[in-house]
Structure 1
């Protein structure tokens, strides 16, 4: 009797060497096409095995092919710190206040998916503690009686020359609003993820019942829009985390050509997470100095406007007109000599295009907290000195308050109030 061979679950660690695992051709190809791994290739030394190497994406996915495994990628950064970075990026104002312990409760879980499921369920429970939020929503329908507003275009197109029925729209007070739809969609997605612990799964099922009157979103559908207000303030932490869940699982955010049914799960891109944390934290800290920042600010390197550049963060005067500094965040560990030449060339190009006397690189780790390089053959700024390229290192194993203190110091340097040379 022939049956499907079940492949054991695979656990990888972010950026560690490739691991050879037994894997069917269909499952291997699905993983290779999914983009979740740095590489997935057949193992030339072992038939029926694939070499899998994790990159910057952490989380878990289930390969939906016969005998397909669950693949988990563990982050090098402690999970509690990872979710502090995520929470800060989503809600910096609250995170500044709660920097000692962070803003996302991950419980005692050390896996990305279990911690995420626990965090979302706790946030949803807090949001619903005072009851399910209600609001006005515009409903459109065909009716035998007139109420609300006549949809004239639809009336003419569908029923020209006869009434009833009539095409109408009206405002209804309901729990089926954008906020509840997003929370329900996140709960539904988490219930389908691999590795959600039983107790958390049961609590999520309870939250699904509480949100049952909200319309279930179609897979791949664009998320409904909501606006922060006094009325939904208790929902906002849960909504921001729920949207992060849906962005990390929905097929419209996967590489082109990927079959959305072949691989299903949740992934966090550590490159993007680190970049978001650094730039958002610096933006908030620079506001204290009366300066504004633009994230992913588009410019051109050449006078013809053909070579585009997009620095992670450009610091400007309070009126937003004059650039004062430029920052690029890199989720990298410094090399043995402390140098990433390509990164230095990149920020030098930014400084040159913006007419700045210095540029800053922020790394996820390094042997020195700070170093700088004066570039030969360059002068900029009122002092006419060489263009200076700074390298800063954040130790992500440090406590949240220490991370934010380091970024405040970098913001001081950008604002020109740091007395060090």
Structure 2
């Protein structure tokens, strides 16, 4: 079994040397799974670029599994110095924290200590997290709702279905056409949990995870199996009696491919659990901004606005719709626009433009013009090479306008301080509007 871990943008060689390379057949199978993913772009290159002698990871992280081989791709996040296993374990923990915030999942400290950050890859960690939380929830009882049933019985139960009684049962008066409500566990939320358990049993390679999943499969044996595409997410209703299942539903959405990631299953295609870091970083920052600005009178809107750049002079037809990552509003007024970029901004010594894309600057100028907003921020993940503290890295006047474009960074490795960093960033100097 071939198992490897690498970081985004890092290559992994393939060939005949088992000490430094993975086998050619493993590279071919992993690249084939990447090509099947909607996140892969042309020939799967956004996930794995298949070169002549190496695979190179892109900006999509997660796990790719094929027959007899698994590849884990981790994001580049600066953590405290340590050995290879310790570093990878810390980064997995940070990535799970990003996912938990982005999907509004509460992970308690006791659970975090049991997840095997250094021993297992990201997939097995998420499987362990889901199975432990599901076992704990089932100890308090499986959700049940009243559902309407129809059954032909010897004695009346519930109400008599007169139409069925005098049509289908007209020749058999010994049976009564009954309609009644029955408290049943065979409901949408339990069918979703069974689907998640069934999927994870097929892909987990951990003996401990398989043992827990077997116990869960037994608990859900009487629940109707439903194909993933036919699951009724809209039929799930959370209230005070079943609120503890909120986190499990979010994890099930993650496992079954509802958000941020793509998964594929099958004998030939293998399995992938992949996350586009630009999207994940944006969602994380948006949710942390909401926490940071709570009670301030400001509201945070992700992928909002949707104003158009152009309007035809003859018929008024509009084109080139905009979707700023994050709009910060006071009432109905946009007071700050934040665009998140998952890339390593350079220090000024290395690059006068600090690695900022010209297209990104033009985009922010257009946002400022369309939304009438003078405070614009391009926000990047902080890293040690910047040789500065997280926060505003530089400030720029946009042409001869009153607009100000700030380049800033946030240290997501120190998750306990992120809300404070964002609050300080927006509480800004005199040339900022917020």
TM-score, structure 1 as length reference: 0.76
Structure-1 separation of matches of 2:285 and 2:257: 20
User: Which residue is equivalent to 1:183?
Assistant: 193
Superposition pairs for residues 111-130 of structure 1, below 5 Å? 111-130=121-140
In the alignment, structure 1 residue 323 sits paired with structure 2 residue 338: no
Shift, 1:232, TM fit: 0.9
How far apart are residue 361 of structure 1 and its match?
Answer: 1.8
Q: Structure 1 CA distance, aligned partners of 2:239 and 2:365?
A: 42
Cα 1:331–1:279 change in 2 (3 A) is same
1:146 deviates by 9.7
What's the offset of the Cα at 1:289? 0.8
User: Partner of 2:299 in structure 1?
Assistant: 292
The 2-side partners of 1:247 and 1:26 are apart by 24
Unpaired runs of 5+ residues, structure 2, are: 15-21, 78-90, 171-175, 313-317
Q: Deviations over 1:205-248 (max 9, x none)?
A: 21222233332231433452323310111212222122211126
1:214 aligns to what SS in structure 2?
A: coil
User: Is 1:107 the counterpart of 2:115 in the alignment?
Assistant: yes
The aligned residue for residue 23 of structure 1 is 24
* Inter-partner Cα distance in structure 2 for 1:151 and 1:273: 56
Aligned equivalent of 2:363: 346
Secondary structure at the residue paired with 2:360?
helix
Separation (CA, whole Å) in 1 of partners of 2:259 and 2:300: 30
Q: Which has the higher contact order (CA 8 A, sep 6+)?
A: 1
8 A Cα contact 2:2 2:69, kept in partner: yes
Structure 1 residues 26 and 248: CA distance shift in structure 2, 3 A: farther
Report the Cα offset of residue 90 of structure 1: 2.0
- 1:72 alignment partner in structure 2: 72
Pick aligned residue for 1:192 from 179, 202, 221: 202
Question: Is residue 410 of structure 1 aligned with residue 429 of structure 2?
Answer: no
Distance 1:419 1:125, change over 3 A: same
Indicate which of 92, 95, 106 corresponds to 1:82. Answer: 95
SS of the residue 1:302 aligns to: strand
State the distance in 2 between where 1:70 and 1:328 align.
34
Q: Residue 238 and residue 192 in structure 1: after superposition, are their counterparts in 2 closer, same or farther (change >3 A)?
A: same
Is the Cα contact below 8 Å between 1:193 and 1:266 reproduced in 2? no
Q: State the aligned residue count.
A: 380
CA–CA separation in structure 1 for the residues paired with 2:260 and 2:371: 37
**Residues 382 and 412 in structure 2, CA contact (< 8 A), matched pair in contact too:** yes
Q: Distance in 2 between matches of 1:418 and 1:260?
A: 59
Identify unmatched segments of 5+ residues in structure 1.
1-6, 156-160, 380-385
Query: Following TM superposition, by how much is the alpha carbon of 1:292 offset from its aligned partner in structure 2, in angstroms?
Result: 2.1
* TM-superposed deviation, 1:115: 1.3
**Corresponding residue for residue 252 of structure 2:** 242
Equivalent residue, structure 1, for 2:395:
373
Do residues 392 (structure 1) and 405 (structure 2) align?
A: no
Summarize the Cα distance change of 1:250–1:395 in structure 2 as closer, same or farther, 3 Å threshold.
Answer: closer
Q: Which aligned pairs between 1:297-312 and structure 2 lie closer than 5 A? A: 297=304, 298-304=306-312, 305-312=318-325
